[in-house]
């Protein structure tokens, strides 16, 4: 079929050199089919064509009705019997419905009919239905010689304009009336037989889009993580290795001076491993940790509770990234003294009831700063700079309790929309009961702070159920199509100053 149309076009050109207007030459063929044929012939250089756009007027449903049955005013006129009595308005309404009102109005204006009491009577003896005649002209020619008629008919919504595409076609550089199948590949056989000399090769289409190469997509959490990493790098932090999700209770709790009787260490809060249940040994510093827990030291009286090696050997899924910070600080203490700034952004696990905003696993953003001059004031100062980079300048701190920091501060930010202070993180100065057994010398202070990665991400990407962000229900389309993330000043305000 398509081949036939192409041949027909070529034959027409052979006969007359040009086809001035395809809509006239191929009345019964759709514009799409004509264009398809022309495109294919153009690639073969057999024709060239240019697009002609003309405006034509077509009849709307009401226009078609009045073309077929007469204008409403003529229909009404014809329904009014000649004579004094005429017809009652109610009867016309019953017969013509909404058309009755329109037709009467026009009829009065044309002085064809008039009102007489509750009846309509004829004024004119006979009428000429000019509207119907005009509609006939438009239907036949697509327009009307009198522009005011077009205007009036359009005003009455009887006609509407439509763009009609057609094409003017000329012979191309390689015009012929023959259609050869075009070859796409040059083969060895063609070279050997010499068939390539006769072959017509298909032109390359450099405008066509290729198959897009498959690629991976970063999860929104990873995009936001990357932005935070950059903020840490900008402020001189080194990244901690957080690739081990399993830790001993020793590094997760004991080294942090969390008493062995603390509720966080119970099954309902922490995932304990079944296999292996426990580590075979503890780091060499354990006796000092035990001593500080049981009887104190470094200015502390300790928890004054028994401390068991077996409890510290238990394997857990880390409940916070501070389990890594404790090891890094211990490592730091093995070197000659230097100030250090460490950060990590990684997964932690808590045995929590899962709901729209809580999962049993989430990501923590954590920073620790070790320095001889580190004080609570310097921590507050640093947090100001850190959050300022995300556009948050209005911070407040509220005393809180962490087993491993004293003093401890919850970080609050003013939320413009909610008109209240909202919690954005946790922080504090690590206790000497933790730092000294790790080996950090007297006078070295360490400040730390932590926040979640999920909350800023959910707000940034407008996700209100965490299960749409993490887990088996995640829509991969969301991961593929979500935009890049920038923690610009504006975003900071959005992200951290919301609690919902």
* Site residues, ligand PHE (CB under 6 A): 320, 322, 366, 402, 405, 426-428, 448-450
* CB 318, CB 258: distance < 8 Å: no
Q: Cβ closer to ligand PHE: 71 or 325?
A: 325
Distance (Å, rounded) from C-alpha 363 to C-alpha 365? 7
Show the tokens assigned to 351: 């045995």
Q: Cβ closer to ligand PHE: 146 or 352?
A: 352
Residue 75: count of CB within 10 angstroms of its CB: 22
CB of 352 to ligand PHE, least distance (A): 13
CA 147 to mean position of chain CA atoms: 49
Beta bridge partners of 449: 367, 427
CB of 451 to ligand PHE, least distance (A): 8
Beta bridge partners of 122: 113
CB of 490 to ligand PHE, least distance (A): 27
CB of 362 to ligand PHE, least distance (A): 10
CB of 403 to ligand PHE, least distance (A): 10
Q: Cβ closer to ligand PHE: 90 or 266?
A: 266
Q: Cβ closer to ligand PHE: 277 or 385?
A: 385
CB of 210 to ligand PHE, least distance (A): 49
Burial class of residue 10, CB neighbours in 10 A (0-12, 13-18, 19+): buried
CB of 214 to ligand PHE, least distance (A): 38
CB of 284 to ligand PHE, least distance (A): 24
Relative to beta strand 87-88, strand 119-122 is: antiparallel
Q: Cβ closer to ligand PHE: 73 or 346?
A: 346
DSSP of 137-152:
HHHHHSS-S-HHHHHH
Q: Cβ closer to ligand PHE: 75 or 322?
A: 322
- List, in order, residues 6 or more apart from 295 with CB less than 8 Å away: 301, 302, 304
What is the side-by-side strand order in the sheet with 47-59? 18-19, 159-171, 47-59
Closest by CA to 179, choosing from 42, 36, 41, is: 41
Radius of gyration of the chain (CA): 42
CA 317 to mean position of chain CA atoms: 34
DSSP of 341-386:
EEEEEEEEE-----BTTB-SEEEEEEEEEEETT--HHHHHHHHHHH
Q: Cβ closer to ligand PHE: 260 or 405?
A: 405
Q: Cβ closer to ligand PHE: 86 or 432?
A: 432
């Amino acid at each position: 079929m398509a081949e036939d149309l192409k041949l027909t076009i070529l034959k027409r050109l052979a006969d007359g050199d040009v086809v001035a207007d395809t809509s006239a030459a191929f009345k019964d063929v759709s514009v799409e089919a004509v264009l398809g044929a022309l495109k294919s012939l153009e690639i073969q250089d057999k024709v060239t064509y240019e697009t002609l756009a003309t405006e034509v007027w077509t009849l709307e449903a009401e226009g078609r009705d009045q073309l077929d049955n007469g204008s409403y005013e003529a229909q009404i006129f014809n329904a009014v019997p000649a004579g004094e009595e005429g017809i009652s308005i109610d009867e016309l309404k019953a017969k013509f419905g909404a058309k009755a009102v329109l037709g009467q109005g026009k009829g009065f204006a044309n002085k064809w009919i008039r009102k007489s009491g509750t009846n309509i009577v004829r004024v004119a003896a006979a009428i000429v239905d000019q509207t119907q005649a005009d509609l006939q002209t438009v239907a036949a020619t697509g327009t009307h010689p009198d522009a005011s008629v077009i205007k009036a008919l359009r005003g009455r919504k009887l006609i509407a304009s439509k763009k009609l595409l057609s094409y003017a076609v000329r012979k191309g550089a390689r015009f012929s009336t023959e259609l050869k199948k075009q070859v796409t590949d040059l083969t060895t056989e063609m070279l050997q037989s010499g068939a390539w000399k006769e072959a017509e090769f298909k032109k390359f289409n450099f405008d066509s889009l290729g198959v897009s190469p498959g690629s991976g997509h970063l999860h929104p959490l990873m995009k936001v993580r990357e932005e935070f990493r950059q903020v840490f790098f900008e402020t001189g932090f080194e990244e901690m290795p957080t690739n081990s999700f399993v830790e001993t209770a020793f590094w997760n709790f004991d080294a942090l001076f969390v008493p062995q009787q603390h509720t966080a260490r119970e099954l309902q809060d922490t995932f304990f491993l079944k296999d292996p249940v426990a580590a075979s040994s503890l780091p060499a510093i354990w006796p000092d940790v035990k001593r500080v827990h049981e009887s104190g030291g470094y200015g502390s009286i300790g928890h004054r509770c028994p401390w068991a090696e077996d409890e510290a050997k238990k394997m857990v899924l880390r409940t916070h990234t501070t389990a890594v910070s404790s090891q890094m600080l211990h490592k730091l203490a093995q070197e000659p003294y230097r100030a250090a700034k460490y950060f990590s952004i990684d997964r932690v696990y808590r045995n929590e009831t899962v709901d729209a905003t809580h999962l049993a696993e989430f990501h923590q953003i954590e920073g620790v700063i070790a320095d001889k001059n580190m004080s609570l004031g310097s921590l507050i100062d640093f947090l100001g700079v850190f959050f300022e980079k995300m556009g948050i300048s209005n911070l407040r701190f509220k005393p809180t309790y962490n087993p491993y920091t004293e003093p401890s501060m919850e970080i609050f930010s003013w939320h413009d929309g909610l008109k209240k202070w909202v919690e954005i993180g946790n922080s504090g100065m690590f206790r000497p009961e933790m730092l000294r057994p790790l080996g950090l010398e007297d006078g070295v202070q360490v400040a730390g702070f932590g926040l979640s990665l999920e909350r800023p991400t959910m707000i940034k990407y407008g996700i209100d159920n965490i299960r749409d962000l993490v887990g088996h229900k995640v829509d991969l389309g969301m991961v593929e199509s979500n935009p890049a993330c920038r923690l610009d000043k504006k975003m900071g305000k959005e992200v951290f100053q919301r609690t919902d």
